[in-house]
Amino acid sequence: MTRHPRARWRRFVSFAPLLVLALAACGPDVPNSIFGAHSEHGHQVDDLTRFLLELGLGVFVFVEALLIYAVFRYRHREGGPPAQQIHGNTTLEIGWTFIPAVILAFIAIPTVRLIFQTQAEAPAGSLQVEVIGHQWWWEFRYPEFNIVTANELYLPKGRAVNFSLRTNDVLHSFWMPQLNGKRDLISNRTNHLWFTPDSIGAYNGFCAEFCGASHANMRFKVFVVSPERFAQYVAHEQTPPVYPLALDTAAKPAKVAKNAPPPPPPTIPLTQAQLNTGTWPTDSLPRWVVPATPLPAMLADTMPGDAARGAATFKTAPCIACHTIQGVSAGVIGPNLTHVGSRTTIAAGLYPNDHAHLVAWIMDAPVMKPGSQMMTLGQRMMGTGGLTDQQIADIAAYLSALK
Amino acid sequence: MATIVQPPSVARHKARMEHGIWSWLNTTDHKKIGQLYLYTSLTWFLVGGLEALFIRSQLWSPNGHLVSAETYNQLFTMHGTTMVFLVIMPFSAAFFNFLIPLQIGARDVAFPRLNAFSYWVFLLGGVFMNVSWLFKAAPDAGWFGYAPLTTKAYSPGLNIDFWVLGLQILGLSSLAAAFNFITTIINLRAPGMRFMRMPIFTWMSFVTQFLLALSFPIITVAVTFLMFDRFFGTNFYTIAAGADPLLWQHLFWLFGHPEVYILILPAFGLVSEVLPVFSRKPLFGYSVMVYSGMLIAFLGFGVWAHHMFAVGMGPVADSAFSVMTMLIGIPTGVKIFNWLGTLWGGTLRFTTAMKFGIALIALFTIGGISGVMHASPPSDLQQTDSYFIVAHFHYVLFGGSMMGLFAGMYFYYPKITGKLMSEKLGNVHFWLTFIGMNLTFFPMHFLGLTGMPRRTWTYDANQGWEFDNRMATVGAFTLAVATLLFVFNWFRSMKTGKPAGNDPWGGATLEWSIPSPPPEYNFAELPNVTSRTPMWHGDPGPGPATYPAAFTPAPVRTASELGIVLPTPTMKPLIAAMGLGVAFTGVIWHKNYILIFLGAAIFVATLYNWLLTPLEPEHH
C-alpha cells in the first residue's frame, strides 16, 4: 500500500479516548465491525470512514473545547467585569463560514471519486450472483453454474462478484458489514452491487431494511473460500442429490414401534463430488456465525428419525408444495432444499442446522420464527391432521442427509 | 343603568366558563391553547418514553423475549411516530402559540378560532393513532412507512389504516397552524417591530411555518395515495400492478427532510433566546443567525435523497445529494459558532435553562458531525439502517430538539405559570437527562459501527453487542427517572413556587414586560418597539441579584376594565374537530358511510356557522 495522502490528518487528530473506543470496533469481540473490511471496495470505504471519523473527532474536540473553555472562563463572578456587549464580528463570521466549507470540500472530493469508482460497471468475468429477497429469507442463484441455494452464500476469494438484487415481495437490504456497504432490494427493479472479497472467512449478513415481522431474523452467512474450494462447492451443488432417487424404491412405510431403536441408516455410495462438498467445515465455524437462538422449550424434545422413511414421507407431505428438492419436488415458495444438509444453519441463519432444530422447525415454524410463512405442521400443535412426531423426525433425518 | 342581579347558578356557570374545564374547551386564547399543546405533548412524551422503555428492555439481552416481534414492531413504529408528530412538533407548537404573539407585541394570533381548531385536530390525531393499541393493531411498518410493506398485500390489518388516517389528521392540524402563524407574524407585529427586530425565536418559528406549509402537502399527497390504495383499491404502490416503491420514498423524504428542520429550528430559536439572557449579552451575529436559519430551511428541500443512498440512484444523483447535504452543514456550523460567540465574553449564569441550552450546543454538535459522515454515500452505505443512524438522529432530536425544548420550558415556566420552578430539582433533572441521554445513545454509535441493524426485534449472542445494548438500556431508564422528576417538579412548583413577577431572568424581549402569567389581553397598551432588545434599552446590565428573582406581582386589570375587546370563547372549533373525528372513525370502521357522512355534516355545518359568527362580540 502506498502511503495515504491523508496520513497527515491522522497525526493531527490522534485524539485518545474516543478514537481508541472507535478503533476497538475492529477486534474479534465485534465480529461484524464495518472496519477492517475484507474486500477491495471495503478497504477504500474503510479509509474514507476513518478519515471522516477522525476529522469529525477533530471538529468535536475543537468545538467542545471552546465550549468548555467559555463555560469556565466566562462564568459569572461577583465583582467580575460586566459582559462585553459584542453584537457580532464580521471577520470571525466569514471565517467560520469559509473554513467549514473548505473542510467539506476535503470530504466531498474523495467522496465523489469513490462514488464513481464503486458504482462503475463490474469488471468483465466477474462472478454473477442473483440475490432474491423473500419475507424472511434469502435466495441465491449462480446462473453461470445453474445453482439455486438459500441463506448461505459461497464466494471465491479474489474474484470480483457482481450481485444483481431483486425482491419477491417487500423491500429488503443486502448487508454484509465485514465485506461491503449495503444495497436495497427494490420491488419491480433490479439493483447491482459488486466488490472483490479478498480474505477467506465466514461472515454474517443481515437484512438492513425493515421488512415486517421477522426482519430481525432475516440473516444469512457468507463464506469466502479459496478458488479451489469454491470449484468443489460448485461441483457438489451441481450434482443432484442421488440420495432421494436411490431411496425411492427402498423406502418402506413407517411402521416402527414407539421407542424402538432407529434402523441403521441405509448405505448408499456417495459420489466424489458429494464427499468433497467444498462447504465450510462445520467444526471450524467461528462462534459468531453459529446461531445461538434458544430452542423454544415446548419444541425441545425430539426423537431420532429415519432418513429413508423420511424421504418417502416428504413426497406426500405438504413440504413439496413450497420446496424444491431436485428430482423430488418443484415448489418455489420456500428455500431450495436440494443440498440443505450441507448448510450450517436453517431459517435464514436463525438456528443451527441439526436434528433437534430441524424437527422443531418442521413442527411449528411460526413459533420458531415470528410471521414465518411456513405453516405449523406438527400434529401436536394442530390437533388433527398434520405430521406425527415420528414422521417429522424422519423428514428431519432425511433433510440432514441431503448433503 | 339598572343593576342586574344574577341568580347564583348563573354566576357559578359564568365562573365555570371563565376558569373551569369549560374555559379550556371553548378558549381561543393563544396562551391557553399553547398550554393545551404543552400538556398534551407532555402526555405523549410519557407514552413515547414508555414505548422506548419496552424497546430497550427487549434489547437488554440477546434473544430477548419480553415482547413479541409483532409487538416490538408496533412499539418502535409508534415510538418514532409519537416522538416526531405528537411530541417534538407540538412541544414546538406550544411555544409558537404561547410566545409568538407575546414576542411580537400582539393580543392574539391572526385567527384565534382556527388556532383552537388546530389544537383539537392535533389532539384527535394523537388519540386516533394511539387508540390502535386497544385493538392490538398499532401501526407497525415504521414511522417512515415504506411501500410496499404498507400496502394491503403485506399489511392487511388495521394497523396501517390507523397510521394513514392519523397522519392525515395531524397534517391538517399542522397546515392550519402554519398559515395562522405566517399571517400572525406578517400582520400583527407591534408598531416598530420590524422584521429584523423580531426576537430570534419568532424568526426561527416563522421559517418553520414555511417549512410546514411547503412540506406537509407533500406527505399529504403520499399518504393520500396510500389511503386510496388501501381503501379504494388504487395502484399507486401496488407492486403486482407494476408500481415503483421509490415513489413513496421520494415523496416521504421530500417531506421528511424538511421535517427534520421543522423539529430542530424552533429549539434553535429557544436556545438563541436563553443564551443571551444568561450571558448578559445580545445574541452574537443576529442577522447571520436569521439568514442561516433561512438557508438551512431552503437547502433542506434539496437533500431528501440522502436518506436513500442505498436504493441505487446511480453515481450522479448520489454525488449531487451528497454535496448538497454537506453544504447544509455550513449554516448549521455557523449557528454553533455564533452561540459560542454569544457565550464568549459574557457573564454566564448557570440556571437550569442555561444548562439545557449549553447541552444543546454540546450534543447537537455530535449529531451534526455524524450527519456529515452520512453525507458521504460510500461511508453511509455502511452506516445507513444501522444503529449508527439511531445514535445520530437521537443526538439531533434528543440532544438538539429536546434539550432546546427543555431549555425553553425552564426559561418560560415563570411566564406560563406565574411561578418559579424549583432550580434545585431542575438541576438534578438536567444532570440525569444529560447523563442518561449520553448513556443511551452514545453506545449506539458503536453498535452501528459493529454491524447491528436497526429496527430489529432481537439480536444473536456472540456478536459483541451485549455490553452496548445494556448501557443503552440503563441510560433509557435513567432518562425515565429524569423525566418523571421533571413532571413532578413542574406540577409541584405550580403549587409551591414563589410568584415570578414580570421578569425573573432580566429578559430582553417584550414577553418579559408583562405580568406572569400574562393577562388575557397580553398588552394593556400595544408597545412601540425601537430595538431588538426592548427590555434592555441598549444595556442588559447584570440582571437580577438572584436567579431566578421572585417578585410580588402587581395587580392585573381585567380586559373589560381596560375596554379591550377579546374574541368570544366558542366551542365551534372543538365541535368541528369532533365532526372530523366521527368521519375518520367511520373510515376506519369498515368504511361506515353513515358515520362518514354524519361526521362530514357536523364538520361542514359547524364550519359554516363559525364563519358566519363574528370573532368578537359586537359593540352596542
The CATH number of domain B32-567, selected from 3.40.5.90, 1.20.210.10, 3.30.360.10, 1.10.230.10 = 1.20.210.10
B344 DSSP assignment: T
Q: Please report, for chain B, the start and end positions of each structural domain, with discontinuous segments joined by +.
A: 32-567, 575-620
**Helices (H) then strands (E): counts for chain A:** 12, 14
Task: State residue B553's pLDDT score.
Answer: 73
Q: Which of B29, B51, B259, B318 is catalytic?
A: B259
Say if residue A133 is in the same domain as residue A154.
yes
Query: Which domain CATH number covers A162?
Result: 2.60.40.420
Quote the ipTM score. 0.92
Cβ of B345 within 8 Å of Cβ of A86? The answer is yes
What is the arithmetic mean of pLDDT over A356-383? Answer: 93
Say if residue A99 is in the same domain as residue A153.
no
What is the arithmetic mean of pLDDT over A20-32? Answer: 63
Question: Which residues in chain B have their CB less than 8 angstroms from residue A288's CB?
Answer: 462-464
Helix (H, G, I), strand (E, B) or coil at B495: helix
How many Cβ contacts (< 8 angstroms) between chains A and B?
309
Residue B79 annotated in active site: yes
Query: Among A283-297, B24-38, B92-106, where is mean pLDDT lowest?
Result: A283-297
- Residue A2 forms part of a structural domain: no
Q: How far is B540 from chain A (nearest CA, A)?
A: 9
Question: Which residues in chain A have their CB less than 8 angstroms from residue B349's CB?
Answer: 76
What is the arithmetic mean of pLDDT over B534-554? Answer: 83
Strand A137-142 and strand A127-134: pairing? antiparallel
Please state the φ and ψ torsions of residue B119, each to the nearest 5 degrees: -65, -50
Q: Which of B31, B32, B56, B79 is catalytic?
A: B79
**Distance between the two ends of chain B, CA-based, in angstroms?**
14
The pLDDT tens digits for A125-162 are: 999 999 999 999 999 999 999 999 999 999 999 999 99
Q: Which of B480, B560, B471, B486 is nearest to B520 (CA)?
A: B560
- Whether a cis peptide bond, with omega within 30° of 0, leads into B7 is no
Find the residue in B nearest to A114 (Cα). B378
Q: Which residues of B498-525 are buried (b: 16+ CB within 10 A; e: fewer)?
A: bbbbbbbbbbbbbbbbbbbbbbbbbbee
Question: Which residues in chain A have their CB less than 8 angstroms from residue B454's CB?
Answer: 208, 210
Q: Which of A76, A112, A141 is nearest to A332 (CA)?
A: A141
Task: State residue A270's pLDDT score.
Answer: 60
Say if residue A272 is in the same domain as residue A397.
yes
Longest dimension (CA), chain B: 88
B516's grid cell: 406572569
- Residue A244 forms part of a structural domain: yes
What is the arithmetic mean of pLDDT over B104-133? Answer: 96
- Asked if B258 and B302 count as a contact pair (C-beta separation under 8 A), the reply is no
Which spans in B300-422 are helix H? 315-343, 352-374, 377-383, 387-396, 403-417
Record the pTM.
0.92
Task: State residue A249's pLDDT score.
Answer: 43
Q: Which of B13, B152, B454, B470 is catalytic?
A: B454
Say if residue A262 is in the same domain as residue A222.
no
Task: State residue A388's pLDDT score.
Answer: 93
- Asked if B356 and B410 count as a contact pair (C-beta separation under 8 A), the reply is yes
Residues in a beta bridge with A47: none
Residues in a beta bridge with A351: A346
Q: Which of B578, B544, B452, B527 is nearest to B62 (CA)?
A: B452
Query: Which domain CATH number covers A65?
Result: 1.10.287
Cβ of A212 within 8 Å of Cβ of B287? The answer is no
Assess A321–B contact: CB distance below 8 Å, yes or no: no
Say if residue A54 is in the same domain as residue A175.
no
Q: Which of B265, B290, B248 is nearest to B209 (CA)?
A: B265
Position A254 pLDDT exceeds 80: no
The pLDDT tens digits for B503-519 are: 999 999 999 999 999 99
What is the arithmetic mean of pLDDT over B219-236? Answer: 95
Residue B521 annotated in active site: no
Beta strands in A89-226 (DSSP E): 127-134, 137-142, 147-150, 152-156, 161-167, 172-176, 180-185, 191-195, 201-207, 219-225
A384's grid cell: 388433527
Longest dimension (CA), chain A: 103
Cβ of B349 within 8 Å of Cβ of A76? The answer is yes
Residues in a beta bridge with A131: A140, A165
Say if residue A105 is in the same domain as residue A16.
yes
The pLDDT tens digits for A228-245 are: 999 999 999 998 776 644
Identify the H or E element spanning A249: helix A242-250
Q: Which domain holds residue A218?
A: 127-226
Question: Which residues in chain A have their CB less than 8 angstroms from residue B346's CB?
Answer: 74, 83-84
Confidence of residue B555 (pLDDT cuts 50, 70, 90): confident
Task: State residue A298's pLDDT score.
Answer: 80
Question: A29 or B206, which is more confident?
Answer: B206
Cβ of A48 within 8 Å of Cβ of B279? The answer is no
Q: How much is the mean pLDDT over chain A?
A: 86
- The CA distance from B615 to A177, in Å, is 62
Task: State residue A243's pLDDT score.
Answer: 61
- Asked if A194 and A160 count as a contact pair (C-beta separation under 8 A), the reply is yes
Position B256 pLDDT exceeds 80: yes
- The CA distance from B55 to B52, in Å, is 5
- The alpha carbon torsion through A389, A390, A394, A397 (nearest 10 deg) reads 70
- Whether a cis peptide bond, with omega within 30° of 0, leads into A136 is yes
- The CA distance from B85 to A173, in Å, is 27
Say if residue A355 is in the same domain as residue A396.
yes
- Residue A371 forms part of a structural domain: yes
- Residue A369 forms part of a structural domain: yes
A336's grid cell: 431450495
Cβ of A175 within 8 Å of Cβ of B327? The answer is no
Say if residue A392 is in the same domain as residue A298.
yes
Closest Cβ opposite residue B464 in set A30, A189, A217: A30
The pLDDT tens digits for B327-349 are: 999 999 999 999 999 999 999 99
Say if residue A70 is in the same domain as residue A165.
no
Position B20 pLDDT exceeds 60: yes
What is the gyration radius of the CA atoms in chain A, in angstroms? 28
- The CA distance from B56 to B50, in Å, is 10
Residue B272 annotated in active site: yes
Residue B257 annotated in active site: yes
**Domain end call among A226, A251, A274:** A226
Question: B326 or A276, which is more confident?
Answer: B326
Say if residue A181 is in the same domain as residue A282.
no
CA distances for A340 relative to A269, A271, A378, B70, B185, angstroms: 19, 17, 20, 29, 68
- The CA distance from B219 to B588, in Å, is 20
Say if residue A254 is in the same domain as residue A286.
yes
The number of distinct structural domains making up chain A is 3
What is the gyration radius of the CA atoms in chain B, in angstroms? 25
Query: Which domain CATH number covers A390?
Result: 1.10.760.10
- Asked if B391 and B441 count as a contact pair (C-beta separation under 8 A), the reply is yes
**Domain end call among A172, A204, A226:** A226
- Asked if B312 and A131 count as a contact pair (C-beta separation under 8 A), the reply is no
Cβ of A67 within 8 Å of Cβ of B338? The answer is no
* Burial of A217 from C-beta contacts in 10 A (0-12 / 13-18 / 19+): buried
Say if residue A393 is in the same domain as residue A244.
yes
Task: State residue B510's pLDDT score.
Answer: 96
